[in-house]
């Protein structure tokens, strides 16, 4: 059995991975990505972000996102669409524009309406708002929050819901996988959207973890339950578990345990619908370029060979 085969056998789960356009020229990579026994779902790592889809105002470019959407369709894989509103990977016309509340709301709505309409019927879910919170659970400073206030969040969800009533709408963030102020902040965002009478369907747990300090399975499961108690589903959306390099047998064994407990938390939680790893091979992981001295975060190594983490995941499914 592969990872998605095992996940599907549980009856409620998909297993998938992020991918990205530059990697699709690597034929060994693509043949493994196309293995639907392991991957029943894919997420574009970059090509649906704002800088990729609306590089200048009201000019939309969907070619790279479409390549990944078509790959998912050809393979019969679910597509998680990522993302509509974030403080990163914004084009300069957004970050350097002169905005009022009214003009920025109009630009936000225009972006969401165009992108969601373009991908209508192709996405299982959209990450509508990504990473709106600081570590202490307060709102992050961004062009969105500074100009519009917290209402940008329900406005974004309402606009997405109007463009595609059938796609699941998620709030997605990191460090909200375990109890604490930031998890409370994420629950409060769900309640905020609901208080506006607007649809919110899920909380996405990015789950960018560290070998040996991954939150316990019980803490992850109880935190998932704190979201599902609000009437939304949850998904693990960007799982990877990094280590300080070089990789050792002991670190790889601990990594396997950490993958297992994380996947186990989703399996045991009613309302956890699936797990996505943030690329499956160390060859293309975002980790080394973002976290200096760290890496080896994926279940397959840079030569596409399965690491102990693969078995750790499989045994939890």
Residues that bind ligand XIL (CB under 6 A): 45-46, 130, 206, 238, 286
- Rounded to a whole number of angstroms, the CA Rg of the chain reads 19
Among residues 45 and 299, whose Cβ is nearest to ligand XIL?
45
Place of tokens 């078995």: 311
Return d(Cα 64, Cα 42) in angstroms, integer: 14
Q: What is the smallest separation between the CB atom of 242 and ligand XIL, expressed in angstroms?
A: 12
**122 C-beta neighbours (distance < 10 Å), count:** 17
Q: What b/e sequence results for 163-172 when a residue is b if at least 16 CB atoms lie within 10 Å of its CB, and e otherwise?
A: bbeebbbbbb
**59 C-beta neighbours (distance < 10 Å), count:** 9
Q: What is the smallest separation between the CB atom of 206 and ligand XIL, expressed in angstroms?
A: 6
The CB-side HSE value for 188 (13 A sphere, CA atoms) comes to: 14
Q: What is the smallest separation between the CB atom of 45 and ligand XIL, expressed in angstroms?
A: 4
C-alpha dihedral sign at 160, 56, 85, 214? positive
Among residues 129 and 232, whose Cβ is nearest to ligand XIL?
129
Q: What is the smallest separation between the CB atom of 214 and ligand XIL, expressed in angstroms?
A: 17
Among residues 54 and 238, whose Cβ is nearest to ligand XIL?
238
Among residues 238 and 282, whose Cβ is nearest to ligand XIL?
238
Give the residue nearest to ligand XIL (CB). Answer: 286
CA 102 and chain centroid, separation: 29
Active site residue 238: yes
Structure tokens at 166: 């059938």
Q: Which residues are catalytic?
A: 238
């Amino acid at each position: 059995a592969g990872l998605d085969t095992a996940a599907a056998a549980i009856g409620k789960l998909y297993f998938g991975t992020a991918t990205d356009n530059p990697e699709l020229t690597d034929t060994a990579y693509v043949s493994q990505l196309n293995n639907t026994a392991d991957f029943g779902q894919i997420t574009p790592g970059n090509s649906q972000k704002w800088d990729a889809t609306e590089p200048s105002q009201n000019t939309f470019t969907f070619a790279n996102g479409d390549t990944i959407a078509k790959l998912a369709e050809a393979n019969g894989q679910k597509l998680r669409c990522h993302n509509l509103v974030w403080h990163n990977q914004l084009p300069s016309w957004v970050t350097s524009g002169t905005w009022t509340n009214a003009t920025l709301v109009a630009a936000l709505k225009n972006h969401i309406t165009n992108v969601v309409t373009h991908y209508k019927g192709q996405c299982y879910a959209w990450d509508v708002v990504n990473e709106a919170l600081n570590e202490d659970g307060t709102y992050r400073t961004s062009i969105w929050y500074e100009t519009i206030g917290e209402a940008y969040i329900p406005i974004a969800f309402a606009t997405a819901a109007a463009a595609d009533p059938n796609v699941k709408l998620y709030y997605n963030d990191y460090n909200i996988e375990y109890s604490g102020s930031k998890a409370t902040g994420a629950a409060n965002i769900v309640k905020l959207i609901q208080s506006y009478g607007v649809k919110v369907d899920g909380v996405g747990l990015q789950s960018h973890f560290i070998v040996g300090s991954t939150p316990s399975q019980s803490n992850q499961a109880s935190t998932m339950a704190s979201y599902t108690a609000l009437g939304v589903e949850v998904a693990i959306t960007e799982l990877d578990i990094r280590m300080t390099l070089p990789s050792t047998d002991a670190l790889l064994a601990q990594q396997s345990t950490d993958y297992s407990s994380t996947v186990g938390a989703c399996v045991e939680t009613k309302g956890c619908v699936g797990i996505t790893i943030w690329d499956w091979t160390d060859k293309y992981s975002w980790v080394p370029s973002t976290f200096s001295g760290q890496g080896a975060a994926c279940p397959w190594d840079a030569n596409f060979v399965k690491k102990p983490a693969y078995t750790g995941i499989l045994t939890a499914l």
